[in-house]
DNA sequence: CTGTTATTTCTGTTGTTACAGAATTTGGAG
DNA sequence: CTCCAAATTCTGTAACAACAGAAATAACAG
C-alpha cells in the first residue's frame, strides 16, 4: 500500500488525536491507515506502510479488535490474517463510546456508589462532601441511562435527531 | 482541609480517570479536591492536602482555569488567591466539552478540510481514500453542528431531553 | 513429523511527560 | 524604596508508557 502525502497527513493527525484521548499513537495511526485503505491489509504490510515494528502492530491490532473497530478476514490461499476497519463514522463513534464507557464510566460509577455509601456511614463527613458526591453520582447515572437508550435507536433515527439540532428543544417542551 | 478517607478515594479515582482522558493526574486531583471542598482554598493548602509540590499546584490551577472549571476569589485581608470549583456537574461537563472541542475537534476539522481539498487536487488519489476522508469530515461537521446548537439550550431543556431517553426517537419520527 | 511462515509474548531501551525543588518575578504593605 | 509573602517559571530527575528486536509459540503445508 502506497501511503500518499494526504494519507500521511491524516494518519499522523489521527495518531496525534489518539494520544490526547488516552489511546496510544500507534493504535490510532493503524486505525487511520485501515480506515483509509478500505481493503483488508495483513499485519506485515501495515508494519511497512507506517514503519513501526511488527510486534507493535500485533499489539495495536489486538487493541483495535477490543474496541471492535477492525475485523479479521482471510484471503483464499493466504495464511495471513487480513485486517479491515469499520467504514461508517457513526459506527466508529458508537463503538469507541461503548468501550470507553465500559472501561472508564462504569468503574467510576461503582466507585461513586461506594463513596456515597461510605459517606453516609461515616458521621463526621462534611455535609457538603456528601452532597457533591451524590450530585455527581446522580448526574453520571442519568447520563449513562440516556446513553444506554439512545445508542439502541436505529441509525436513521439517530441521524434525524442530529439533523434536528437545537430544535429538539421545542419538541421536548410540549 | 482534612482529607477524609472517602474524599481521598474520590480524589484518587478522579485523578486516575483524568489520566485516561488525556488530562494529567494532578490537574484532575486538584479539581476533585476543590469540587468536594465546596469552599475556596488557597494554593498552599491544596499543596498540603494532596502532598504535591506548590509549583505543580500552580500549573494545574492555571490549566483548570483554562477549562473554566475553577474560579479565583479573594478573602478580605488575605493577599492569597483562593480557588473554588464549579459545583454543577452539567456545567462541568459542558465546559470540559467546550474546551476539548476547541483544542481537538476544531483542529481535526480543519485538518480534514485540508485533506479533502488536497485529495481532490491530487489526481492519483485512490477514490476510496477520497470517499472516506469526505465521509469522516461530513460526520464530524454534522456532529459539531448539533453540539453547537444543543449546548445553547436552557439547562432545563437539556435535563428534560436526557430524562426522555430513547423516547426522543418517537418524537422525532413524526 | 518436519520445515516454514505468521503471530504473539517477552525484555530491554528510548522517549516523553509529570513532577519536585530552586530560582525568579510579582505585587502589596509599610 | 524596601521588605516580605505569594505566585510563577525554570530545570533536572524520576516514573512511566511506547516501542523495537529477540525469542517463543502457533498454524499449517508437504
How do the domains of chain A map onto residue ranges?
Answer: 5-85, 89-168
Q: Check pLDDT > 70 for residue B174.
A: no
Nearest residue in A to B169, CA atom: A157
Helix/strand/coil for B84 = strand
Residues of B whose CB is below 8 A from A115: 6, 9-10
What is the CA A136 to C1' C8 distance in angstroms? 42
How far, in Å, CA of A14 to CA of A29, rounded?
Answer: 6
- Nearest-CA distance from B56 to chain A in Å? 20
| A19 CB less than 7 Å from any atom of strand C | yes
A112 touches strand C (CB under 7 A): no
Q: What's the pLDDT at B78?
A: 87
Sequence-ordered list of residues with C-beta below 8 angstroms from that of A153, at least 6 positions apart, any chain: A161, B166, B169
Q: What are phi and psi of B41, to 5 degrees?
A: -125, 140
Mind spelling out the 3-state secondary structure of chain A?
Answer: CCCCHHHHHHHHHHHHHHHHCCCCHHHHHHHHHHHHHCCCEEHHHHHHHHCCCHHHHHHHHHHHHHCCCEEEEECCCCCCEEEEECCCHHHHHHHHHHHHHHHHHHHHHHHHHHHHHHHHHCCCCCHHHHHHHHHHHHHHHHHHHHHHHHCCCCHHHHHHHHHHHHHHHHHHCC
Q: Please give the Cα distance from B50 to B41 (Å, whole number).
A: 12
- C-beta separation of A75 from A39 below 8 A: no
Mean pLDDT for the stretch of residues B34-40: 94
| B31-36: average pLDDT | 96
Is this structure's pTM higher than 0.85?
Answer: yes
**Least confidently predicted of A97-101, B20-24, B49-53, B84-88:** B20-24
Grid cell, residue A116, equals: 456515597
Distance CA B125, CA A6 (A): 9
Residues of chain A with Cβ-Cβ distance to B136 below 8 Å are 35, 89
Grade residue A10 by pLDDT with cuts at 50, 70 and 90.
Answer: very high
Q: What is the C-alpha separation between B78 and A157, in angstroms, rounded?
A: 56
**For residue B90, what are the contacts with CB-CB under 8 A and spacing of at least 6?**
A139, B155, B158, B159
Looking at residue A174, its pLDDT comes to 64
Nearest by CB to residue B162, choosing from A146, A154, A169, is A146
Mean pLDDT across chain A: 93
Cβ–Cβ of B136/A169 closer than 8 Å? no
Residue A46: HSE in the Cβ half-sphere, 13 Å Cα cutoff: 34
Nucleotides of C under 7 A from a protein CB: 5-10, 17-23, 28-29
Rounded Cα distance between A11 and A98, Å, is 23
- SS3 readout for B7-26: HHHHHHHHHHHHHHCCCCHH
pLDDT band (50, 70, 90) for residue B121: very high
CB contact under 8 A, A125 and B4: yes
CA of B54 to C1' of C24 (A): 15
Distance, in Å, from the CA atom of B157 to the CA atom of B112, rounded to the nearest integer, reads 33
Measured CA to CA, the distance from residue A8 to residue A33 in angstroms comes to 9
Q: What is the pLDDT of residue B22?
A: 82
Q: What mean pLDDT is predicted for residues A16-42?
A: 93
Q: How many CA atoms lie within 13 A of B54 on its CB side?
A: 4
Fold of B5-85: Arc Repressor Mutant, subunit A (1.10.10)
pLDDT-based confidence at residue B111 (cuts at 50, 70, 90) = very high
Whether the predicted pLDDT of B161 surpasses 80: yes
Interface test with A, best of B132, B145, B154 (most A CBs within 10 A): B132
Contacts of B167 in chain A (CB under 8 A): 149
d(CA B15, CA B33): 10
Cα distances (Å, whole numbers) of residue B65 to A65, A147, A155, B82: 38, 29, 38, 12
- What dihedral do alpha carbons B26, B32, B38, B43 form, nearest 10°? 0
Q: How would you class A127 by CB atoms within 10 Å of its CB: exposed for 0-12, middle for 13-18, buried for 19 or more?
A: exposed
Three-state secondary-structure class, residue B75: coil
- pLDDT exceeds 80 at position B102: yes
CA distance B52 to B44: 10
Which nucleotides in chain D have some atom under 7 angstroms from a protein Cβ? 5-10, 17-23, 27-29
How confident is the model at residue B52, as a pLDDT? 94
CA angle at A35 for the pair B142 and A59, rounded to the nearest 5° = 125
Instruction: Check whether A28 has a pLDDT greater than 90.
Output: yes
Amino acid at each position: 500500500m502506497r501511503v500518499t502525502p494526504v494519507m500521511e497527513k491524516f494518519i499522523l493527525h489521527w495518531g496525534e488525536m489518539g494520544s490526547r484521548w488516552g489511546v496510544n499513537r500507534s493504535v490510532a495511526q493503524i486505525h487511520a491507515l485501515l480506515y483509509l485503505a478500505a481493503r483488508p491489509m495483513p499485519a506485515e504490510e501495515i508494519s511497512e506502510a507506517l514503519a513501526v515494528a511488527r510486534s507493535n502492530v500485533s499489539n495495536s491490532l489486538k487493541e483495535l479488535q477490543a474496541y471492535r473497530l477492525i475485523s479479521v478476514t482471510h484471503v483464499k490461499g493466504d495464511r495471513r490474517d487480513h485486517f479491515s476497519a469499520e467504514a461508517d463514522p457513526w459506527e466508529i463513534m458508537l463503538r469507541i463510546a461503548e468501550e470507553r464507557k465500559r472501561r472508564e464510566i462504569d468503574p467510576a460509577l461503582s466507585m461513586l456508589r461506594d463513596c456515597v455509601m461510605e459517606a453516609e456511614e461515616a458521621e463526621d463527613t462534611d455535609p457538603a462532601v456528601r452532597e457533591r458526591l451524590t450530585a455527581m453520582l446522580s448526574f453520571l447515572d442519568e447520563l449513562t441511562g440516556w446513553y444506554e437508550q439512545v445508542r439502541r435507536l436505529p441509525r436513521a433515527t439517530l441521524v434525524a435527531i442530529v439533523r434536528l439540532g437545537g430544535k429538539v428543544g421545542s419538541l421536548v417542551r410540549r
